[in-house]
Structure 1
């Protein structure tokens, strides 16, 4: 059985990213696509799976260097990298929840000027 190698445009389209992004990730050492005799990039199923994981990691806020470590580094590093990112996501979620609570209050606030509201001022002076 032959593996289906896709061109860069087909791969980018399937992943919902730009060809520029794939070239950038290659230049940064995140991925290494196969090459034809003429130098054209080809992406096999395993690399496309790795790219799909990389896209999800990017959506989770991981830096490109962290994604490269996750995909190409020692297996023992994965747990630490993912745990650190999970903690960052939890902190970000908590900030978003506090912000949403503040916005909900502002929507219900009856003070004519927001800065006159004690609850709004308390939120503004709280830890981010």
Structure 2
């Protein structure tokens, strides 16, 4: 994915591109080393970025904000078929659903503690239920509310 389609018009340096997105130049170099960016080089060997690179950096940032790893982003860009890309995204969606479920469970426990009338959070029914579930899931048995 070279920038040669930009016809040399308004090519920018690595510093200019990095500044445009509020990134350090080493980030762009790292992305290049991971196969995410492919800048053209001028006669002196310096990287030059065009309009397609602007789009590519914006795309990487959007995917990173969505929680995708650099490897997943690279795989998405390297996968030619729609079915392949959908497979990658399906796996990412499932992982995200799992993280969301874990975050909801964490929030429930924390909010239960905030709303607990007991002096000791370990005496709260919500906390005791979660502890009992943890013990049972690990192969033991315990009754909520009993020590």
User: Above 0.5 in TM-score?
Assistant: yes
Scaled to the shorter chain, the TM-score interval is 0.7 to 0.9
The answer (yes or no) to whether the contact 1:62–1:85 under 8 Å persists in 2 is yes
Higher Rg:
2
Q: Could you give the per-residue CA deviations for residues 30-55 of structure 1, whole angstroms, max 9, x where no partner exists? A: 21111111111111111221121111
Q: Which runs of 5+ in 2 are unaligned?
A: 1-6, 138-147
Partner of 2:104: 97
Alignment pair present for 1:84 and 2:64: no
Match status 1:9 vs 2:15: yes
CA distance in 1, matches of 2:52, 2:65: 20
| Corresponding residue SS for 1:17 | coil
- For structure 1, the 5+ residue unaligned runs are none
- Structure 2 residue corresponding to 1:62, chosen from 55, 68, 74: 68
Residues 22-80 of structure 1, C-alpha deviations (whole Å, 9 max, x = no match): 10111121211111111111111112211211112122222222111112332332222
Q: Which residue of 2 aligns with 1:122?
A: 129
What SS does the aligned partner of 1:120 have?
A: helix
Match of 1:27 in 2: 33
| Separation in 2, partners of 1:44, 1:9 | 13
Q: Which residue of 1 aligns with 2:46?
A: 40
Q: TM-score, normalised by structure 1?
A: 0.84
Give the count of matched residue pairs: 127
Question: Residue 2 and residue 8 in structure 1: after superposition, are their counterparts in 2 closer, same or farther (change >3 A)?
Answer: closer
Q: Which residue does 1:73 correspond to in 2?
A: 79
